[in-house]
């Protein structure tokens, strides 16, 4: 066969591969929020799954337990808290110019409005005149929309948990198969994937799970504090969710949320009988239970990450602004993928050995830490 002639057989297979790749990307793009949330569930439950699997030695059962016992109740509870928080946000935005938050919070407020509409539907059902065809069509239209919304939610939940389940059960085998098929002698792909996996564990399990846990604790605690006499916290569930979001900000964290609220409560109730005590309780509970406790529990999983804390902060801020609600997961994921590509893959493509460079950097750091040994 003439080597100068194009290999049409090979080109045809490359074309098929490109078409399949584009189709796969289209599917992922269509369910991008569901996929990234499924990845978050996977990393959030993986430590528990691995401990269970070490004892049970049955990976499918361990994955089911980790998801049903840990992830599902937490997701249901967090969804209920978010629904209450969005309802409070809706009431809050009525007191200010809605244009300030309209662009970012509009979809959430529309969802809250649709979720609060069943009362209207029940009113129509109770007072319906069967002789009026228009009212019957309106009722069935409402029922159809609610069933469609409910079915869509169930579909996305199924995809999330199915993705997390198979990643838990088969992720390790899939990783080794992928490395065996596509890695070269340098082990570049394995190094890249290991580094990405390490920082995914840190960011998705450590930081975001810390934010979710903090938001849940804050919403419950502030709701309970509102039952105390001599004071009242404005929008307690919404405030709790905001403390969870604030925990993603380095250094000051959620203090940006509860310190101004404490000052507002001090001005409002500080001069009333028992009001100063209520403010002190709010500050103490915010600092100890909402701020310190979740951070203390999850700090070992967050510490030691390779990413600069400023880059992580901008990923959390810009992600939701660029992509919507799921950007809080997708932003850090893209940051990790890009950072380690620049750190590991790009030097290799340019002819620089990233492993040797890292070893040199570690050696220089060790000499700086122990100058006496270096002199010896």
Residue at 205 is within a domain: yes
Q: What is the per-residue pLDDT across 271-283, written as a single tens digit (0 to 9) for each?
A: 777 778 888 888 8
Residue at 195 is within a domain: yes
Residue at 127 is within a domain: no
Same domain, 24 and 164: yes
Same domain, 147 and 214: no
Residue 309 to residue 315: CA distance in whole angstroms = 10
Number of folded domains in the chain?
2
pTM, two decimal places: 0.66
Q: Which residues of 288-300 are buried (b: 16+ CB within 10 A; e: fewer)?
A: eebbeebbeebee
Using a 10 angstrom Cβ sphere, with 0-12 exposed, 13-18 middle and 19 or more buried, the burial of residue 318 is: middle
Same domain, 89 and 237: no
Given a contact cutoff of 8 angstroms between Cβ atoms, the answer to whether 186 and 348 are in contact is yes
Residue at 126 is within a domain: no
Q: Supply the range of the domain harboring residue 90.
A: 15-94+136-182
Q: What is the per-residue pLDDT across 193-233, written as a single tens digit (0 to 9) for each?
A: 999 998 888 777 777 777 778 888 888 888 888 888 777 88
Q: Calculate mean pLDDT across residues 364-373.
A: 51
Q: What is the per-residue pLDDT across 58-106, written as a single tens digit (0 to 9) for each?
A: 888 888 888 888 777 777 766 776 676 666 666 666 665 544 444 444 4
Same domain, 43 and 69: yes
Same domain, 314 and 342: yes
Residue at 7 is within a domain: no
Same domain, 282 and 270: yes
Same domain, 173 and 198: no
Residue at 88 is within a domain: yes
User: Tokens 């919404």 appear where?
Assistant: 238
Range of lowest pLDDT (39-43, 124-128, 149-153): 124-128
Residue 91 to residue 109: CA distance in whole angstroms = 10
Same domain, 170 and 215: no
User: Tokens 């940006």 appear where?
Assistant: 256
Name the most confidently modeled range: 122-131, 137-146, 171-180, 204-213.
171-180
Same domain, 209 and 300: yes
């Amino acid at each position: 066969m003439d080597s100068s002639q194009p290999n049409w057989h090979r080109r045809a297979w490359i074309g098929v591969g490109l078409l399949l790749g584009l189709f796969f990307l289209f599917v992922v793009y269509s369910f991008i929020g569901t996929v990234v949330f499924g990845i978050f569930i996977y990393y959030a439950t993986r430590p528990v799954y691995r401990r269970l699997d070490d004892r049970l030695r049955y990976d499918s059962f361990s994955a089911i337990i980790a998801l049903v016992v840990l992830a599902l109740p937490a997701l249901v509870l967090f969804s209920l808290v978010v629904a209450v928080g969005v309802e409070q946000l809706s009431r809050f935005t009525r007191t200010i110019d809605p244009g300030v938050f309209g662009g970012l919070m509009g979809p959430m407020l529309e969802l809250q409005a649709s979720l609060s509409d069943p009362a209207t539907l029940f009113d129509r059902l109770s007072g319906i005149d069967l002789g009026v065809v228009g009212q019957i069509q309106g009722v069935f239209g409402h029922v159809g929309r609610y069933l469609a919304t409910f079915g869509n939610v169930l579909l996305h939940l199924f995809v999330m948990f199915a993705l997390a389940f198979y990643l838990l059960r088969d992720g390790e085998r899939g990783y080794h198969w992928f490395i065996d098929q596509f890695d070269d002698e340098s082990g570049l792909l394995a190094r890249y994937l290991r580094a990405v996996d390490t920082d995914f564990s840190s960011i998705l399990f450590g930081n975001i799970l810390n934010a979710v846990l903090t938001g849940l604790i804050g919403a419950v605690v502030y709701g309970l504090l509102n039952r105390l006499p001599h004071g009242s916290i404005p929008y307690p569930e919404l405030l709790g969710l905001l403390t969870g979001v604030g925990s993603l900000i380095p250094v000051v964290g959620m203090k940006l949320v509860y310190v101004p609220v404490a000052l507002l409560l001090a001005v409002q109730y500080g001069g009333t009988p028992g009001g100063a005590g209520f403010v002190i309780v709010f500050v103490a509970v915010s600092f100890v239970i909402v701020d310190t406790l979740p951070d203390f529990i999850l700090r070992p999983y967050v510490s030691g990450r390779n990413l600069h804390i400023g880059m992580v902060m901008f990923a959390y801020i810009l992600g939701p602004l660029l992509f919507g609600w799921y950007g809080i997961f997708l932003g850090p994921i893209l940051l990790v993928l890009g950072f380690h590509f620049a750190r590991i893959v790009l030097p290799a493509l340019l002819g620089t050995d990233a492993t040797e460079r890292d070893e040199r950097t570690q050696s220089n750091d060790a000499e700086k830490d122990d100058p006496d040994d270096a002199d010896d």
